[in-house]
Structure 1
Amino acid sequence: MNTIELNASILIVEETPESSHTFTKHMKNVGLDVTLAQSGEQALQVIEKWVPDIIFLDIRLPGIDGFETCHRLKQHEITRYVPIFLMAAMTETIDKVKGLTVGSLGYISKPFQYEEVLMHINIHISLFRQQKTLQQENEQLRQEIKRLKATENARSITEAKAAYQPKSEPCDIPTLMGQSQSLIEIKTDIRRLQKVNKTSVLIDGECGTGKEVVARAIHFGSGRAKMPFIAVNCSAIPHDLAESQLFGHVRGAFTGALNNRRGYFEQAEGGTLFLDELGELPIPLQAKLLRALEENKIMPVGGEPKPINIRVLAATNANLLAKIKAGTFRQDLYFRIVCCNITLPPLRTRKEDIALLADHFLMELAADREKAKKALSQRALTALESYDYPGNVRELKNILERAVIYCDYDSIQPQHLRFIDTSLIPDTKPPKPPQSTDALPAIEAYKFPATDEEKILAYVQKQGHITNARCRQLLGANYNRASYLLGKMTREGVLVREGNHRSTNYRLPRAKKSDFYEKSDFSNGNKSEF
């Protein structure tokens, strides 16, 4: 690309325009639009009316010198990104560091080497214009994201309000679908909590019972519905970054903090912050979370206190009272969070809802596959209602999805259902185990332990060892969660790590059983009570 195609404009700032007459003439001859200013003050006035594509600035100027002029131009909003070159006589001693400090790209020596100057003009104006184009495109993307979020929020508000209207029809949110008495009471609680905007709520229950669905329903049915809903998995936040991710940081607060960053609290401003797996939050961070909730202020890392206006909803599948007794969770934080409490029942305690849930999931799967809905035979429904669902509603959906895939007929039969405990399928032979070496061995559902660590321990006792991949299958968790739990149990001496990388296995210590293991009566197949 040549300069004529760029159709560029240049501002030359020099006390004696006569000395740059030849330079100006040469620039005009190649199609550049040249404007002259004789002082820094005049240059600052010019840019208020017209913004050039590139600026050449003599360091020797009357009044404010070239360095100060460059600094002010770089501080000005409209010329912050305009390329600036300082000009100096070849015989002058120049301070290159000072030139870069005030924001220039470097020096052009006088008398000018025209080919060199034109090369700089071509390169930096092209970069400048590409940057402007990217900024415009980024702004368009931001507006599109804003529009999409507004659309999503509007849809979620409609769904939430429709789901929780006082009516006799079943709720259309899958995880809360049902007509059992326990679920009716929970929906009543949700409607009450939608009417208040500040009250914190603790939602507890086993994995897969729908804790985040309840949190979203409370938010999108409340007066904060049009503001952000920010969900945070506390167990997935690296401990060394947890404070920065929750409360944000300012530029230069620590190594690698190149820019200011808004934490989850600021991102949720005006809306709701949902803290999932609250019990996994490190003790030091619990104190800072308590202070933020008590004072309605946050302290970004390296910054000043900021006021916040958010509602905090929290969820856990752990026994926080037991953690308080063990010294791993703060009692004052517990009572600050648990102003109101919703306990979600496991699916095994509301089996009258299974038929309604199954019908919903089969309709949903049919729509996703764009095929006719498969029916559920009475014998298959009986099998579903006879199972205890350690994975709750999430597991029910997975069982039905697999059944739809493996059923070649219009009606799902018991043999199409795969349970963790296959003996619970009445009057049918258990399905053949999959050939994949990564398949999860069967575990008796009615003996399934209560917490994730107990589940891992029970599995290791039965199978001899566990890998990260099988841990993820066992818990329905992601890689980070599985790594965290296995690492924690290894540090506590509950498990021993063997091998490296993909061949890593975790087993029980050979010398003696861990204290944790001795307390959990898994050897007799009894479920631990918390």
Structure 2
Amino acid sequence: MSTSPAPSQQATVLVVDDIPANRNVLRQTLESDNYEVLLASDGATALHVAAKAAPDVILLDVMMPGIDGFETCRQLKAGQVTRNIPVIFISAQSETRSMIEGFQVGGVDYITKPFKAEEVLVRVRTHLTNHRLTREVLAKNQELEKTNARLREEIERRQMAESSLELADAKLSLISERETRAWGLEAFVGRSPAMQEVIAEIRRLQLVDNTSVLIKGESGTGKELVARALHHSGRRSTKPFITVNCAAIPAELAESLFFGHVKGAFSGATGNRKGYFEMADEGTLFLDEIGDMPPVLQAKLLRAIEDGSFMPVGSSAERHADVRLLTATNADLDAKTAAGTFREDLYFRIKGYEICLKPLRERLEDIQLFTTHFLSRFAEELNIPVPVLSSEAGKALHAYHFPGNVRELKSILERALIESGGGTIEEFHLHLLNEKAMMAPVANSEPVGTAAELPLNLELAELELARRALAEANGNVSKAAQLLGINRTKVYRILSQQDSVPTDSG
């Protein structure tokens, strides 16, 4: 029973012999066992056919005119396509000695004339099997070499990644150290009892870095500085600190900005985007001006705060983030809660701990420290000697109300340093808001008693209302802004136009 390959796996044998009778005998023998047989009558033809057809086995006669069998074999073994094809020499019994040369040039076996069909088939079949097994071993070796090469590349890549991570960790550690110095407790300048109490509160919270903290205070009192100090003094100091100004977030984009979105969630969503919560994972999320958060977002924020779960816009898969929440406001959240504009459950959730920052006017002993600190810092940036503050300028600063608190003091001193050219800073270099003048009636306009008596000129009407509110608030711009239902910045903007507002007589 034949053990030759199935037709779909039919092997090809090239028979090379200059005697047609020999070629025919071998062809018939091989075809009877289902081999495909190619014929060549000389060495040159054999080289051409072998290079083109790449047979599985070659039966090659030794004695031929032109190129003999040995030279033909040498050239076959030198060819890229034919070098691995098994060559079985055809030899007469008297030529047995010459077979040594046949093996030396690359032959694997020989058959003798006259041919014995069974011997021919067994030898061809044996060397086909050997050749197939050799190819499989070579293929497996090549695959192993490729796998080893990939493993070596992966090892090198991981080593490089580990080196990069070590370098990144070193850089991050250095950055964290710098940020801790810049934003940690060392950054606090004030030494008044009020500021010392704030510093003590931050120290108490260092080991409790999952507790939500609500920081209250007027604009410019340093709420973000306190938030950064809380972050950089705890175990989350090397993780992200994400700051969000709730007052600047458009209501229609709020959900996407906070929780992210997936590609195609809405028009313009060309890719996946992380929201603030996911960006702050393992770190701190600082929500400034939380009292101005859109009501529609407050309920969704509450759930994210409670269990860290949120759903990106357009996604059906819930995500989780480990976030420490810090919030800040200059608004009266108790009043907003009572009025129903701020959720009571959210209010209770964000004020796990409260830190209240007093305005600068209530800690006057800090003014001199801040003045020295800011002037030294500005002088260092400008590479000039630290300027001197005249006694009159110092008295003016201590007598000033500072509606903008520390931020306003910093701006006043920066401008004064520039205007003084590095020399002594005099009182006229300090551009302080004249709050009494702000509360005074507008020049050339009659006092107005009721809403019905407001001037028809829109700018005059705004100015008059701002003046009334400021008078009723005893000069406190924040309270005046609350009475008017606008922010402090707009009050300042209205009052700053006092001298340029046209009168009714114009």
In the superposition, the TM-score normalised over structure 2's length comes to 0.56
Kept in 2, the 8 Å contact 1:194–1:218? The answer is yes
Name the SS of the counterpart of 2:475 in structure 1: helix
Q: Residue 383 and residue 289 in structure 1: after superposition, are their counterparts in 2 closer, same or farther (change >3 A)?
A: same
For 1:401, give the aligned amino acid. Answer: E
Q: Residue 408 and residue 458 in structure 1: after superposition, are their counterparts in 2 closer, same or farther (change >3 A)?
A: closer
Residues in 2 aligned to 1:377 and 1:359: alpha-carbon distance in whole angstroms: 13
* Matched residue, 1:270: 282
Name the SS of the counterpart of 1:251 in structure 2: coil
* Residues 1:419 and 2:469 are matched in the alignment: no
Residues in 1 aligned to 2:167 and 2:427: alpha-carbon distance in whole angstroms: 48
Q: Residue 406 and residue 160 in structure 1: after superposition, are their counterparts in 2 closer, same or farther (change >3 A)?
A: closer
For 1:312, give the aligned amino acid. Answer: L
* Residues 1:398 and 2:411 are matched in the alignment: yes
Shift of the alpha carbon at 1:142?
11
* Matched residue, 1:517: none
Residues in 2 aligned to 1:463 and 1:407: alpha-carbon distance in whole angstroms: 23
* Matched residue, 1:350: 363
Shift of the alpha carbon at 1:464?
8.1
Name the SS of the counterpart of 1:375 in structure 2: coil
Shift of the alpha carbon at 1:198?
0.3
Name the SS of the counterpart of 2:287 in structure 1: strand
Q: Residue 146 and residue 267 in structure 1: after superposition, are their counterparts in 2 closer, same or farther (change >3 A)?
A: farther
* C-alpha distance after superposition, 1:345-404 (max 9, x if no partner): 111111111011100111001001101110112221111000011111011011111111
* Matched residue, 2:372: 359
Decide which structure has the larger Cα Rg and report it. Answer: 2
For 2:263, give the aligned amino acid. Answer: R
In the superposition, the TM-score normalised over structure 1's length comes to 0.53
Shift of the alpha carbon at 1:410?
3.0
* Matched residue, 1:494: none
**Correspondent of 2:333 among 320, 329, 343:** 320
For 1:231, give the aligned amino acid. Answer: T
- Bigger shift: 243-252 or 337-346? 243-252
- Bigger shift: 213-222 or 324-333? 324-333
* C-alpha distance after superposition, 1:304-353 (max 9, x if no partner): 11122110000111111111122211000000000100111111111111
Residues in 2 aligned to 1:449 and 1:279: alpha-carbon distance in whole angstroms: 14
Kept in 2, the 8 Å contact 1:211–1:315? The answer is yes
Shift of the alpha carbon at 1:454?
5.5
Q: Residue 326 and residue 142 in structure 1: after superposition, are their counterparts in 2 closer, same or farther (change >3 A)?
A: farther
* Matched residue, 2:295: 283
Name the SS of the counterpart of 1:156 in structure 2: helix
Q: Residue 395 and residue 260 in structure 1: after superposition, are their counterparts in 2 closer, same or farther (change >3 A)?
A: same
Question: What aligned pairs does 1:39-438 form with structure 2 within 5 A after superposition?
Answer: 49=146, 150-160=173-183, 163=185, 172-173=186-187, 176-303=188-315, 304-408=317-421, 410-421=423-434
Residues in 1 aligned to 2:248 and 2:305: alpha-carbon distance in whole angstroms: 21
Q: Residue 190 and residue 251 in structure 1: after superposition, are their counterparts in 2 closer, same or farther (change >3 A)?
A: same
Name the SS of the counterpart of 1:412 in structure 2: coil
Kept in 1, the 8 Å contact 2:183–2:225? The answer is no
Residues in 2 aligned to 1:345 and 1:407: alpha-carbon distance in whole angstroms: 31
Shift of the alpha carbon at 1:194?
1.4
* C-alpha distance after superposition, 1:160-199 (max 9, x if no partner): 55x3xxxxxxxx42xx422211111111001111121200
* C-alpha distance after superposition, 1:110-129 (max 9, x if no partner): xxxxxxxxxxxxxxxxxxxx
Residues in 2 aligned to 1:282 and 1:141: alpha-carbon distance in whole angstroms: 42
Residues in 1 aligned to 2:393 and 2:427: alpha-carbon distance in whole angstroms: 4
Residues in 2 aligned to 1:145 and 1:236: alpha-carbon distance in whole angstroms: 33
Name the SS of the counterpart of 1:389 in structure 2: coil
Shift of the alpha carbon at 1:153?
2.2
Residues in 2 aligned to 1:287 and 1:370: alpha-carbon distance in whole angstroms: 51
Residues in 2 aligned to 1:342 and 1:254: alpha-carbon distance in whole angstroms: 40
Residues in 1 aligned to 2:374 and 2:497: alpha-carbon distance in whole angstroms: 36
Name the SS of the counterpart of 1:230 in structure 2: strand
Kept in 2, the 8 Å contact 1:250–1:260? The answer is yes
Kept in 1, the 8 Å contact 2:403–2:476? The answer is no
* Residues 1:446 and 2:475 are matched in the alignment: yes
Unpaired runs of at least 5, structure 2 = 1-50, 53-138, 148-152, 154-162, 438-462
Residues in 2 aligned to 1:393 and 1:198: alpha-carbon distance in whole angstroms: 29
Kept in 2, the 8 Å contact 1:154–1:226? The answer is no
Name the SS of the counterpart of 1:446 in structure 2: coil
Kept in 2, the 8 Å contact 1:406–1:416? The answer is yes
Name the SS of the counterpart of 2:205 in structure 1: helix
* C-alpha distance after superposition, 1:400-437 (max 9, x if no partner): 1111111146321111111011879xxxxxxxxxxxxx
* C-alpha distance after superposition, 1:63-99 (max 9, x if no partner): xxxxxxxxxxxxxxx9xxxxxxxxxxxxxxxxxxxxx
Q: Residue 149 and residue 257 in structure 1: after superposition, are their counterparts in 2 closer, same or farther (change >3 A)?
A: farther
Residues in 2 aligned to 1:246 and 1:309: alpha-carbon distance in whole angstroms: 14
* C-alpha distance after superposition, 1:224-243 (max 9, x if no partner): 11111111111112211111
For 1:346, give the aligned amino acid. Answer: P
Name the SS of the counterpart of 1:177 in structure 2: coil
Matched length: 319
Kept in 1, the 8 Å contact 2:435–2:475? The answer is no
Residues in 2 aligned to 1:369 and 1:459: alpha-carbon distance in whole angstroms: 30
For 1:154, give the aligned amino acid. Answer: E
Residues in 1 aligned to 2:370 and 2:228: alpha-carbon distance in whole angstroms: 19
Question: Sequence identity, in percent?
Answer: 45
Q: Residue 146 and residue 245 in structure 1: after superposition, are their counterparts in 2 closer, same or farther (change >3 A)?
A: farther
